[in-house]
Structure 1
Amino acid sequence: MAPSPAAAADRPGRAWFRGAHARGVIDQADLRTDPDALSRGGWWAVVAEFDGPIHAWRFRHVDTSDRVVRDAGRWRGPAPSDWASSLDQLGYISAVQDVRDAVREGLVYQVNVCRVLSAAMPQRADPAALAVRLARGNPAPYAAMIDVPPLAAAGDPGCWIVSASPELSIEISGGQISSGPIKGTAAEESGLLDKDRAENVMITDLVRNDLQRVCAPGTVAVTDLLRVERHPGLVHLVSRVQGRLRGDPATDPRVWTEILGATHPPGSVSGAPKSTALQLIDSLEPVARGPYCGQIGWIDADRGTARLAVGIRTFWWSQERLRFGTGAGITWGSEPEREWEETELKASRLIGLTST
């Protein structure tokens, strides 16, 4: 990866993704309100909030390495008993039943219902220390860390994120775009149900439709369906969709706007049909998801390449609290108590690694 051209004096900030290390922030933008920012070129770390801005920071120095994030301090997290949930078990089960009612009425086919866990953490801890702990205890294919101190004078809220995401939202290379939606989770492969397989097929079709909005006609295809992937403490059903982009983002930055518009928020963490699912999510979930269930990754505007993960298995720090989201996809075949247990399964290992 080549360094981006000089645009301003460096300010503190660093980012780490599998295979990439970046430092020295020289630009920042909200790509939702400033879609032309990527026309300035360079390598950008991106955090697209599920229900808010699409933050992006341009870095001057970027190098490739398979090493985990460098210069990590010692991690000290909240106590296990400090964590609270935005929805308790009864509240979550009630939300699941509301979705099942909406499915029965023909309003939706599937909705992802989530809750946010949070614990008090007054001091801005070192995210690199948590990134190292998760890399050792819960390695993930789309692990990431972004650490950018806020800069009020520039209207930049900054960023504190550590992710152990297993899910690819979009990858762009050589004029191709691909996505790897996950739907179906269990402790062991034997625990995967027909409901999980049906849900995966449904969301894979939704992702296929999303990619068709930015791909050449006839090029979008499902290249892998219902593959079982093993991750620490659980298994997932994963499919893969791929297509050839209609435009070249390396020569026409407007293509980035089209791509983000078509693929955000990711279908696997919203629902089908997406517009109605988003309305239900807004009515059922008591707090905003923020970067959870958004997209976290990087865009190389010079080369027209990108890799954005779905922002699941992700910690973020804001307003003196450490936060972590967990959720499950709800269909007519969902059993409310089992869906609650799935959210517990997804959270338990990572919350355990983070708590001290």
Structure 2
Amino acid sequence: MTGDTGWAQFAGRFATDAVECIDVLAEPERLATGTWFVVADFEAGSGTHPEGRARAWRFARVHDAAAPSATTWHGPPHDAWTSSMDQATYEAAVARVREHVREGDVYQANVCRVLSAPLTGSSDTERGAEPDARALAARLAAGNPAPHAAAVHVPARTGLDPVWVVSASPELYLSVRDEQGTGTVVESGPIKGTARTPGGLTEKDRAENVMITDLVRNDLQTVCRPGTVEVTSLLEVEEHPGLVHLVSRVRGTLSDDVVRSGELWRRLLAGTFPPGSVSGAPKSSALRIISELEPVPRGPYCGAVGWVADGEASLAVGIRTFWWADDGAGGVLRFGTGAGITWGSDPTAEWHETELKAERLVALASTGTESAGHR
């Protein structure tokens, strides 16, 4: 069975038979050759949560084709989800960020919560197997198609570092590609601003997007040739199932010393990770505030997932992302949701934004047809 030896899919590439796993922060030069599928935790490289890792798996077979059909997904009951922060706690965190803004510590900080549900009793876990990530990926593809959808599953029984991540991300973190006559181009597509319809987008959403677009522009300037970083589109409205986003695009040409030094991925990650749209501005201050307010680590949520192949890459921001971990009793499925907080934020409205981002995907991942709730 494909899942027994590990598999991954992203951007039209499907890989099977995992053969090795590396620590990207320790050996970034390894990404220069071969095809690797990457999962980086939001906390990777941070001393706040030392469990945060950035890993990449190389597979024996990589195809430019869709993944094979999967079996039926067996999710948790729709009422089994719990949240790392209830509404009152989340709204208090929003109020605290607004205090930091007033005090001049930060302009914006992303505050997230993690939903979790046990998978005890599913047919996979009853057999002692890990849940079928392909089945969830297929369910999300049918019910919530996303431009940067991804899945990586390497079971523990392979003997490699295991991973189980399924994402329906709409957001580009980084693409890297060679352009004839230009050089090696890096591009990012930050998303800030979410509503059910275009008419629901506010001036706060637009200001939030402009702040983060400027942050991403500054991040890319640390690795690009002077004068090449530009905002190619600003505040475009993208429609996705059940909601809309404001999306901007920033690109630049990588400096020759970054490309040729063998330090490309060390420099890229040092200059741009974690993604600005899911941290805040200034990034260092936002990360400090996030570590104070959020009670649990984000894991791969808000990190990065995608592929790196022979000097080119496509990595998504790990939003709209599920991850599973074994707890010895069927395991726990998790999903993150959050919102960008500015001075113009209303705490209750921000809570409802996190609900909006979660409701469709959590419903798809749950048993039954009821709207998925969480308490």
TM-score tier, shorter chain, comes to: over 0.9
Q: List alignment gaps of at least 5 residues for structure 1.
A: 1-10
C-alpha distance in structure 1 between counterparts of 2:142 and 2:335, whole Å: 19
Aligned to 1:315: 322
3-state SS of 1:32 partner = coil
Checking the alignment, whether the CA contact within 8 Å between 1:182 and 1:238 is kept in structure 2 is yes
| Matched residue SS, 2:256 | coil
Q: Does 1:161 align with 2:170?
A: no
CA–CA separation in structure 2 for the residues paired with 1:249 and 1:150: 35
Render the CA deviation track for 1:236-258: whole Å, top value 9, x for unaligned.
00000000011387754311110
Question: Aligned-pair distance for 1:150?
Answer: 2.2
Match of 2:64, SS?
A: strand
Please give the secondary structure, in 1, of the residue aligned with 2:100.
helix
Match status 1:121 vs 2:119: yes
Specify the SS of the correspondent of 2:6: strand
Aligned to 1:130: 136
1:107-148 superposed Cα distances (whole Å, 9 cap, x missing partner) = 000000000000001422100000000000000000011010
**Worse-matched range after superposition: 145-154 or 104-113:** 145-154
Distance 1:38 1:151, change over 3 A: farther
SS in 1 for 2:19: strand
Aligned: 1:352 with 2:350: no
Percentage of pairs with the same residue: 58
Q: Which residue of 2 is the match for residue 54 of structure 1?
A: 54
Letter aligned with residue 352 of structure 2? E
1:33: how far off?
A: 2.4
**Contact 1:183 1:196 survives alignment (8 Å):** yes
Alpha-carbon shift at residue 38 of structure 1 (Å): 2.4
Equivalence for 2:371: none
C-alpha displacement at 1:75, in angstroms?
Answer: 0.4
Distance (Å, rounded) in 2 between the aligned partners of 1:199 and 1:32: 30
8 Å contact kept, 2:5–2:158: no
1:188 alignment counterpart:
197
**Paired residues, number:** 339
Residue 331 of structure 1, aligned match among 342, 346, 364: 342
Query: Within 1, Cα distance between the matches of 2:282 and 2:134?
Result: 38
CA deviation digits over 1:324-354, x for unaligned, max 9? 0000000000000000000000000001111
Aligned pairs (5 A) from 1:1-356: 12-39=5-32, 41-51=33-43, 52-65=52-65, 67=66, 69-122=67-120, 123=125, 124-150=130-156, 156=161, 158-174=162-178, 175-247=184-256, 252-300=261-309, 302=310, 304-319=311-326, 320-356=331-367
Give 3-state SS (helix, strand or coil) of 2:5's partner.
strand
What amino acid is the match of 1:280? I
Q: Which runs of at least 4 in structure 1 moved beyond 2 Å after TM superposition? A: 33-39, 150-154, 247-253
Match in the other structure for 1:3: none
Q: CA RMSD for the aligned pairs?
A: 1.4
| 2:38 maps to amino acid | V
Task: Give the Cα–Cα distance (whole angstroms) in 1 for the partners of residues 107 and 258 of structure 2.
Answer: 33
Distance 1:284 1:255, change over 3 A: same
Letter in 2 for 1:172: V
Deviation per residue, 1:254-294 (Å, 9 max, x gap):
11110111111000000000001000000100000000000
The residue identity in structure 2 corresponding to 1:185 is T
SS at match of 1:140: coil
| Aligned-residue offset at 1:32 | 1.4
Q: Is the 8 A contact 1:38 1:253 kept in 2?
A: no
Counterpart-to-counterpart distance in 2, 1:205 and 1:257: 22
Displacement of 1:73 in angstroms is 1.5
Task: State whether residues 177 and 245 of structure 1, in contact with CA within 8 Å, keep that contact through their aligned partners in structure 2.
Answer: yes
Q: Which sections of structure 2, spanning at least 5 residues, go unmatched?
A: 44-51, 179-183, 368-375
Structure 1 residues 73, 247: CA separation in 2 closer, same or farther (over 3 Å shift)?
farther
